[in-house]
Structure 1
């Protein structure tokens, strides 16, 4: 009886940093439960559970709007000052006068820069799940400017923001007078703004990891948990991906500003880890953001611009088309649409404004438009799925809290 009585009241004890109550909570059970909950969250996608996913998405949207409203209410002074400045600018914008010419010029430039900054943010935000706006927007834009510069023999077509299409100037330039530097200068503004946007998109992981480190609490975010596990298992890592992640982490941690600059200056799919690393080791904000901004907006963008410009230079494009035609059997069939597409682009560049768009659009442009549409739709779906999973995570955390209080 004594043994049975002793078994009825087991003392509370710590097991692996987690409290054990009557055997209900252990490291293995908690780990299994979290893994099961994570799998349940990941199953919340539109193509599997559309009704529940949309419902959770709307609820998470309302919660997020409420949180943002409360944050703005806590900063009433800053919000009021911003509204006053917007009101003054609106009055200056609506009043007629000689200043309207400068106001409209600044408006166009601001909207043009904001457009590319926004695309840059969409590209890098979300820990690798962003929209590939370089392939969809900036790359094709640089390619079209490059082709136009070589075809027109000049870069004197309108300054950005461009009209719906680029048209060669009346007085064409001398053939062969176009240089790489002139084309780089023509697209520098939009490319640098896009690069600055990608640097801004790297800030959420930095702030998340920094806040978690300063609070002293273990965050529930899986990305941060994976990062901490990777640090603990650093010496035993064998696979290439983990070694590459550790290489980024070691460079950022040991070299500091120049390590961040080196990682940000090259196309690096693992750079998301740099933000978490810098936040975890409390790297100063301006050290991280300054190096990231210089690397992405200046160094990396000039490398990418140079690659696109060289790839779409006139003589290289013509050589590529001729090589396509030399492929046995299918070469001529593949060469024809590419040749027609290039000819259509040349005719567009030389037709006058108001003449209408020349005919000759082929299936290449149609395919590209559909690819862009599919990628944008997938990006929107990923946002809906992510917000639905965030709401499911809120419910699971609420359930954990209720169980701990019992």
Structure 2
């Protein structure tokens, strides 16, 4: 344990980076070996990627459709990757809903109320938002229409979080099939955390699909234990994964979307600013950067309208602080992954030495 605590970038940077790259290479090699074990699937992927690359570079009327497909898949893939990062964490966790998806939904909500429409021109939406020149009367601003506007990226993020729950499942399943056990399932003390873990474990064991669905449908930091339990008791893969996707990408995601959309409607935002202003001493100082931030965001929505020019200083202290906070969180997540993979390498090497004896 002491060796693991010392194997971090700020204590042993050279050794940590060396072990990180070795473990990363081992993981990539193992993944490629498993992929090429399914020769037909591997061949299909290679042909698909090759055909896409060729069609992308050859001029013709098909290029518009190829670019559209690639940009759409890249947008979906971005949210899937963020969902995986939020779920897998490798010992930490990048809370990408708070840092990316939640702000995206909030931005669309505020833009919808400011523009009075949801038919943002594409492009720049979804990477940027500009109020449309002509408002679509069939696409009025409502909670349900805003939810539909951000449904795809929200579901992609939810699918990513479900994919991130697979490592604990496969780890426990492999340990059970090899005759081993998973330490996280040995819950003997009576602490509050242990009682919560026991509740999750019993729910999954006794109710099965419905229990997994219930655990996945609510914000649940102990859901890793559901994956461990399902893997340990050899629950079929599609039972576990199907319930997890349905719970995370459909049920929980709609609850989270509804909460963000209701929280960021224009009336409630104005009320919050009024409450902020009433805070003694610091209220007026907080209200000024918040108002500046909202004004700048609204000005950007009308940047194609000459009658609504951008302010001279379109940035703000608040947006600068938010950008630095997000950057710090991402850097922390990357550092934690490097440390975790380096420590995994030492664990694997120690286990191999023990087996050889």
Query: Is TM-score (shorter-chain normalized) higher than 0.5?
Result: yes
Instruction: Give, in whole Å, the separation in 1 of the partners of 2:314 and 2:46.
Output: 50
Q: Which structure 2 residues correspond to residues 262-273 of structure 1 after superposition, within 5 A?
A: 262-273=214-225
Q: CA deviation at 1:110?
A: 1.1
CA contact (8 A) 1:196 1:296 kept: yes
| Match status 1:297 vs 2:249 | yes
Aligned counterparts of 1:52 and 1:353: Cα–Cα separation in 2: 56
Provide Cα deviations, 1:254-279, integer angstroms capped at 9, x if missing partner: 01111111110111111111100101
Residue number in structure 2 paired with 1:283: 235
Aligned ranges for residues 20-59 of structure 1 at < 5 Å?
38-59=1-22
Q: 1:391 to 1:167 in 2, by over 3 A?
A: same
- What value does the CA root-mean-square deviation take over the aligned residues? 2.3
- With over 3 angstroms needed to count, the CA separation of the structure-2 counterparts of 1:394 and 1:214, relative to structure 1, is closer
Q: Distance in 1 between matches of 2:124 and 2:180?
A: 48
Runs of 5+ consecutive residues of structure 2 not aligned to the other structure: none
- The answer (yes or no) to whether the contact 1:109–1:160 under 8 Å persists in 2 is no
Find 2:274's aligned residue among 322, 326, 332: 322
Q: How many residue pairs end up in the alignment? A: 354
Of 186, 190, 205, which aligns to 1:238? 190
Q: What is the match of residue 300 of structure 2?
A: 348
Report if the CA contact (8 A) 1:41-1:393 is conserved. no
Mean Cα displacement is larger for which, 282-291 or 98-107? 98-107
CA offsets 1:49-102 (integer angstroms, 9 cap, x no match): 222212222332333344344444544443233212322333333444443333
Could you tell me how far 1:173 is from its partner in structure 2? 7.0
Partner of 1:13: none
Q: What do the CA deviations read for 1:148-177 (whole angstroms, capped 9, x no partner)?
A: 000000001135872652110113578xx5
SS of the counterpart of 2:291? helix
What TM-score do you get using the length of structure 1 for normalisation? 0.81
- Measure how far apart 1:129 and its partner are: 2.0
Residues 356 and 385 (structure 1), Cα distance of their counterparts in 2 relative to 1, 3 Å cut: farther
Give 5+ residue unaligned stretches, structure 1.
1-37, 219-223
**Partner in structure 1 of residue 25 of structure 2:** 62
Moved more, 54-63 or 159-168: 159-168
The structural deviation recorded for 1:212 is 1.2
Residue 226 (1) aligns with residue 180 (2): no
- Report whether the alignment pairs 1:158 with 2:121: yes
| C-alpha displacement of 1:357 | 5.7
Aligned to 2:287: 335
Corresponding residue number in structure 1 for 2:340: 386
Structure 1 position 240, deviation (Å): 1.2
How far apart in 2 are the matches of 1:353 and 1:376?
A: 35
Higher Rg: 1
Give the aligned partner of residue 96 of structure 2. 133
Structure 2 partner of 1:113: 76
- Residues 299 and 310, structure 2, Cα contact 8 Å, conserved in 1: no
Relative to 1, partners in 2 of residues 1:118 and 1:356: Cα closer, same or farther, differing over 3 Å?
farther
- Per the alignment, in what secondary structure is the counterpart of residue 329 of structure 1? coil
**1:172-251 correspondence runs (5 A):** 172=135, 178-218=141-181, 224-227=182-185, 229-230=186-187, 233=188, 237-251=189-203
Asked whether the equivalents of residues 91 and 336 of structure 2 are also in contact (C-alpha less than 8 Å), the reply is no
Q: Give the drift of 1:225.
A: 1.1
SS, match of residue 125 in structure 1: helix
TM-score normalized by structure 2? 0.92
Judged with a 3 Å threshold, the aligned counterparts in structure 2 of structure 1 residues 161 and 225 are, in CA distance, closer, same or farther, namely: farther
Cα distance between partner residues in 2 of 1:113 and 1:214? 35
For 2:130, what is the secondary structure of its paired residue? Answer: coil
Q: Distance in 2 between matches of 1:186 and 1:284?
A: 34
CA distance in 2, matches of 1:297, 1:160: 26
Match of 2:351 in 1: 397
Structure 1 range deviating more: 78-87 or 319-328: 78-87
More off after superposition, 252-261 vs 151-160 = 151-160
Taking the aligned partners of 1:252 and 1:159, their CA distance within structure 2 comes to: 44
